[in-house]
Amino acid sequence: MKKMPSPVSRADSDSLQLDESAIEAARKSLEDGAVTPAYGQHRDAIVKLLNDALATELVCVLRYKRHYFTARGVASPKIAEEFLVHANEESAHADAIAERIVQLGGEPDFSPDSLSGRSHADYDESKDLQAMIRANLVAERIAVETYHQMITLIGDKDPTTRRMLEHILAEEEEHADELSDWLEK
């Protein structure tokens, strides 16, 4: 088997080469943890996007919890149980997002005073089971759209955050499918 030359070691103009100055900079500023020069100018913008997503997830937890405790009707026990499952999954999303914000050197914003203003989705106090399902479906569709947009915006600027968001997006799509199935036709 013929050994191919490493693309990093090729000297021609179209070769792939590592940025030695960025590698040297990674040796410094150890207090920045995983944040190296590769994160560049986009880190602060990504942290802002993530803090808004965090607010959305927290509002979703609160909405699902309210619906879990207040759902009434013949079909409500099974649907309420699913509301609690969704609340717990949204809480796990919030935890993952907060952890990523910290890894990026930011501070997760859990301030109750600004949650609803930063959230992409709304809180809901519906009393009717079908209205609850609709409100949650709207919120899940908003989450699907915002995560799609965030993934596109982040692209290759932060592959770790992108992969996390892709995982969350898949779960939000599952939630939306389940809720859609529960709507009375």
Tell me the pLDDT of the chain averaged across its residues: 88
Counting the structural domains of the chain, the total is 1
Residue ranges of alpha helices (H) inside 15-70 are: 20-26, 43-70
Full residue range of the structural domain in which residue 87 is found: 39-182
Q: Residue 23 falls within a domain, yes or no?
A: no
The CATH number covering residue 88 comes to 1.20.1260.10
Say which residue, 174 or 13, is predicted with more confidence.
Answer: 174
Q: Residue 63 falls within a domain, yes or no?
A: yes
The mean pLDDT of 40-47, rounded to a whole number, is 89
- List, for residues 80-109, the tens digit of each pLDDT value: 999 999 999 999 999 999 999 999 999 999
Start-to-end C-alpha separation, the chain: 63
What pTM value is reported for the model?
0.84
Q: Residue 2 falls within a domain, yes or no?
A: no
Per residue in 172-184, is it b (16+ CB within 10 Å) or e — as a string?
bbebbebbeebee
Per residue in 4-19, is it b (16+ CB within 10 Å) or e — as a string?
eeeeeeeeeeeeeeee
Q: Residue 118 falls within a domain, yes or no?
A: yes
* Per-residue confidence (pLDDT) for residue 185, from 0 to 100: 56
Q: pLDDT band at residue 158, thresholds of 50, 70 and 90?
A: very high
Q: Tell me the two tokens of residue 93.
A: 């999303």
Q: Residue 168 falls within a domain, yes or no?
A: yes
The DSSP result for 94-161, as a single string, is HHHHHHHHHHTT------TTTHHHH-SS------SHHHHHHHHHHHHHHHHHHHHHHHHHHTTS-HHH
Percentage of the chain exceeding pLDDT 90: 72
The least confident of 23-37, 41-55, 63-77, 103-117 is 23-37
* Per-residue confidence (pLDDT) for residue 53, from 0 to 100: 98
